[in-house]
Amino acid sequence: MGFFDSAQEVLDKGVSAAKGAVSGVAVEQQAFVKQFVRMCEDGWQQGWHERNGGNASYRMSPEDVQSCKGFFYDTPSSWVPLASPLINLAGEKFLVTAAGSFMRNVPLDPVSNIGIVEVDDQGAAWRIVWGFKGGGVPTSELPSHLMVHAVRKDVTIGADRVLYHAHPDNVVAMTGVLPADARAFTRALWKAMTECIIAVPKGVAALPWMVPGGTDIARATADAMIGRSACVWAQHGMFASAPTFDEAFGIVHAVEKAAGVWLKAQAAARTLGVEPIEIPDEGLRAIATTYNLPIDDSMLD
């Protein structure tokens, strides 16, 4: 959405074909790639990825890189500079969805709809080393992904590796009636369904509407997710960060279900002329105590 207008110009037109005669398991058959593909497919099945909506990225482990590097392109793409260096991502490699790709097509043709990019040894640029067959490039929201990865890598001491961006409709609908405020969103979600505070014990960040794909929303999202594993983009969708694919998908799933419960309860209460019945703050504290959750107590009265 603008970010790749200039980036496309510096990408090589003829990225070499992946090495064919290499021993080992092809990239598409690696366990982590299969998990990545499953998350994309599950999100599509949930209805969270209309057309080419949503994207995902995974910071590869050294073991992942070792198992795949024999299949990397002989001639990677040219380096594409980042708006600001991300020193703690120097040398890292990421599995990422392609710009304009439809999530429903990821399991059908992974090598065309996903790819691997590496960050240079200064954390200042990236290039394609595998995938994006047919001239594709990474998601236009790659700046947001990389900035959030940099933040979450620091605050979780390297534990978080998955970043998942989806367009769950109930969450988006909530942004039409609640202010883009972390406390307002968190309280509504926590109080609607018991499991939500367990899924996001630090609550959810919330940002007002911004044009996606640029550095402004990337920086705002990274700042918002310093202390939280989930962030809502008003009239757009949400991001979730976690150590595993299951956990990242589970955050979005739990938040989306809680959002749906909240919307239905609010509508029913208005129809019946009653006040919605919610989990009280003391009840939320009891859940936190019972499950030893590191909650953000500022979200409670």
Active site residues: 141
d(CA 108, CA 26): 16
d(CA 94, CA 163): 10
3-state helix, strand, coil in the chain (%, to 5): 45, 15, 40
Contact 221, 231 (CB under 8 A): yes
Contact 28, 110 (CB under 8 A): yes
Q: Look up residue 230 and give its two tokens.
A: 């989930």
d(CA 48, CA 256): 10
d(CA 188, CA 172): 14
Helix count (H) and strand count (E) of the chain?
11, 9
Q: Look up residue 144 and give its two tokens.
A: 């947001």
